[in-house]
Structure 1
């Protein structure tokens, strides 16, 4: 699970290593990456909304 989280974080900022990308496609499960990616995207959007509310408030 930790490798999937690291891979999704690297994908979010665009710094994935080629060896890790190959490992993900060979050993990873699509559903794991989708769920982790959706959760991280929701946290990012929620954090930005919270920050905007804090700054504007």
Structure 2
């Protein structure tokens, strides 16, 4: 017979939500930092080509 599961506490729910939001904030900060370094012309975390061949 099916039995109802126990309710998740508010604290646990809020903790999960905070972690989920923090991931997004971290990704946004990382992408902004990468964009700033590309604009300054000093990228160190990756290699990319600036020159594009026009046909």
Q: Calculate the TM-score normalised by the size of structure 1.
A: 0.47
TM-score (normalised: structure 2): 0.49
- Which of these two proteins has the greater Rg computed from alpha carbons? 2
Q: Which has the higher helix share?
A: 1
